[in-house]
C-alpha cells in the first residue's frame, strides 16, 4: 500500500526535510519529518491525496511547479513519499517549473541537484536549459584538465534555450563565440557571435543591444557603422529605463532625463554607458557563478571574473577577457559589461587606481634619488 503526503506549505531551505502534512486536517500527521523509509509509514493513516487518481494529483503538482518561488517548494513535495516522488519527476511537472523553483544555490549544489536540473532540461524547461547551460559551461567546464565534455554539454543546453527564443541564452552564446570560450578566437567565431548578438537584440535583450551598439561603433566583428551603433545604444538605454520604471514603484524610480534632477541638462539616453537606473536583480545563473568562484577563491584558486557583479563570468583561458585600458586592473567579458560597470562603479574606482599608481611611481622615483 502506498501512502503519500503532500506539503503545500513552504519549508525553510532546500533539504531541510521538514514537511508537514496538511491533507487530513481532522487527523493531522503526528510526524513532521518525512522520509522514504517504508517502515516509517506503516500504521499511519492514509491521507486525502491517496484517494485521488494520478492525473488529478499531477495537475495539482503542475500548478504548484508553475507558481513555486523557491527550490524547496518542489523538492519538499518530492521528498514526501514514493508516489509524490514519482509524480513530481513527471516531465509535465518539471517542464512548467519556474526559474525561482529551480534556482539552486551553490551551497546546495550536489549530484542530486545536478540530476534534478538535467531532468528539467530533458523535460524541455527552457529556464533550466539556460541555468544548467551556464553552470556546465562556466563552472563545471572550467577544470583546466583539458576535458571539454561539460563545455560541450553546456553549449548544447544554451543552444536549446536559444532556439526556443530565450534572449539571455542567445546573448550568452554570443559572448561565448566573441571570446572563443573553450574554442579559441577566430574570425569565424567572431561573425557567429555577431549574428547571435543580433538575434538577442531582436529579442529585446538590453545587454545584447549595448554590445552590438559598441561593436558597430568600433567596427568589431563587423563593418563600422557609427550611426547604427548610436541608435542601438539609445534603444538599449530607453528599454533599460522603461523596464526599471515599470518594475519599481514610482517614488523610487530614477528621474527621467530633465525631470527635476540636478543634472537635468545631461540626457542619459544618449550616454554610452546606459541610464542612471538601479541595477536589476542578479539572475540566478550569474549569482551561481559569483558564489561558485567565491568558494573557489577562498580555496586559493585564482580565476579572473568579469568585474561586472551582475555578470561574474570567469575567464576560461588566460587573457580571454578585455581589460580596462585606463587602469589595466578591471577585466570584462564584453563591451556591454564594461559600459555598465563604468557607469555604476568603475568610473570612480578607475580614477582612484590611476591616482594611486601615479603616487606609487612618484614615490619610487623619489626613493631612487634619496
Ligand atoms: Zn499526505
Ligand atoms: Zn499525513
Ligand atoms: Zn579602469
Ligand atoms: Zn561580463
pLDDT at 230 over 90: yes
State pLDDT tens for residues 111-146: 999 999 999 999 999 999 999 999 999 998 765 555
Query: Which range, of 158-167, 205-214, 232-241, 294-303, averages the lowest pLDDT?
Result: 294-303
Strands (E), 266-333: 322-323, 331-332
State pLDDT tens for residues 96-110: 999 999 999 999 999
Domain boundary among 102, 123, 150: 102
Instruction: Give residue 275's pLDDT.
Output: 64
- Residue 107 counted as domain residue: no
Instruction: Give residue 30's pLDDT.
Output: 44
- Residue 307 counted as domain residue: yes
14 alpha carbon to ligand 1 midpoint, in Å? 19
Total domain count for the chain? 2
144 alpha carbon to ligand 4 midpoint, in Å? 20
- The closest ligand to the CA of 29 turns out to be 2
**What's the pLDDT band for 212 if we cut at 50, 70, 90?**
very high
State pLDDT tens for residues 257-273: 444 444 444 566 667 66
- Residue 215 counted as domain residue: no
- The closest ligand to the CA of 4 turns out to be 1
Dihedral sign computed on CA atoms, order 332, 335, 337, 342: positive
- The closest ligand to the CA of 313 turns out to be 4
255 alpha carbon to ligand 3 midpoint, in Å? 28
Range of the domain at 314: 289-369
Domain boundary among 102, 125, 140: 102
46 alpha carbon to ligand 1 midpoint, in Å? 7
- Residue 33 counted as domain residue: yes
- Residue 353 counted as domain residue: yes
List b or e across 173-209, with b for residues whose CB sees 16 or more CB atoms inside 10 angstroms. bbbbbbbbbbeeeeeebbebbbebbbbbbebebbbbb
- Residue 21 counted as domain residue: yes
- Residue 37 counted as domain residue: yes
Instruction: Give residue 143's pLDDT.
Output: 59
360 alpha carbon to ligand 4 midpoint, in Å? 30
Instruction: Give residue 266's pLDDT.
Output: 52
Domain boundary among 51, 86, 102: 102
- Residue 32 counted as domain residue: yes
Under DSSP, the state recorded for 206 is H
State pLDDT tens for residues 357-367: 888 888 888 88
Amino acid at each position: 500500500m502506498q501512502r503519500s503526503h503532500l506539503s503545500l506549505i513552504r519549508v525553510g531551505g532546500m533539504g531541510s526535510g521538514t514537511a508537514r502534512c496538511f491533507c487530513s486536517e481532522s487527523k493531522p500527521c503526528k510526524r513532521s519529518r518525512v522520509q522514504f523509509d517504508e517502515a516509517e509509514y506503516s500504521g499511519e493513516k492514509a491521507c486525502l491525496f491517496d484517494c485521488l487518481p494520478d492525473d488529478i494529483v499531477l495537475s495539482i503538482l503542475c500548478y504548484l511547479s508553475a507558481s513555486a518561488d523557491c527550490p524547496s517548494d518542489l523538492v519538499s513535495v518530492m521528498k514526501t513519499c514514493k508516489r509524490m516522488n514519482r509524480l513530481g519527476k513527471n516531465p509535465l511537472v518539471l517542464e512548467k517549473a519556474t526559474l525561482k523553483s529551480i534556482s539552486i544555490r551553490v551551497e546546495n549544489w550536489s549530484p542530486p541537484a545536478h540530476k534534478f536540473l538535467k531532468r528539467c532540461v530533458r523535460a524541455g524547461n527552457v529556464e533550466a536549459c539556460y541555468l544548467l547551460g551556464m553552470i556546465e559551461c562556466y563552472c563545471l567546464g572550467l577544470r583546466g584538465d583539458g576535458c571539454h565534455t561539460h563545455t560541450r554539454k553546456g553549449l548544447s543546453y544554451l543552444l536549446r534555450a536559444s532556439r526556443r527564443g530565450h534572449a539571455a541564452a542567445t546573448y550568452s552564446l554570443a559572448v561565448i563565440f566573441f571570446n572563443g570560450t573553450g574554442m579559441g578566437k577566430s574570425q569565424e567565431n567572431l561573425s557567429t557571435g555577431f549574428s547571435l548578438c543580433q538575434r538577442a537584440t531582436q529579442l529585446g535583450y538590453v545587454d545584447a543591444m549595448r554590445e552590438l551598439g559598441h561593436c558597430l561603433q568600433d567596427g568589431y566583428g563587423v563593418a563600422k557603422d557609427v550611426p547604427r551603433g548610436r541608435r542601438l545604444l539609445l534603444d538599449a538605454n530607453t528599454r533599460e529605463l522603461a523596464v526599471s520604471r515599470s518594475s519599481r514603484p514610482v517614488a523610487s524610480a530614477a528621474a527621467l532625463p530633465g525631470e527635476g534632477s540636478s543634472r537635468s541638462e545631461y540626457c542619459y539616453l544618449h550616454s554610452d554607458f546606459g541610464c542612471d537606473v538601479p541595477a536589476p536583480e542578479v539572475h540566478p545563473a550569474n549569482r551561481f557563478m559569483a558564489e561558485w568562484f567565491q568558494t573557489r577563491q577562498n580555496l586559493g584558486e585564482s580565476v579572473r571574473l568579469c568585474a561586472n557583479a551582475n555578470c561574474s563570468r570567469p575567464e576560461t583561458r588566460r587573457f580571454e577577457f578585455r581589460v580596462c585600458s585606463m587602469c589595466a586592473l578591471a577585466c570584462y567579458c564584453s563591451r556591454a559589461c564594461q559600459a555598465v560597470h563604468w557607469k555604476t562603479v568603475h568610473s570612480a574606482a578607475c580614477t582612484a587606481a590611476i591616482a594611486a599608481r601615479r603616487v606609487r611611481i612618484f614615490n619610487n622615483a623619489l626613493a631612487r634619488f634619496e
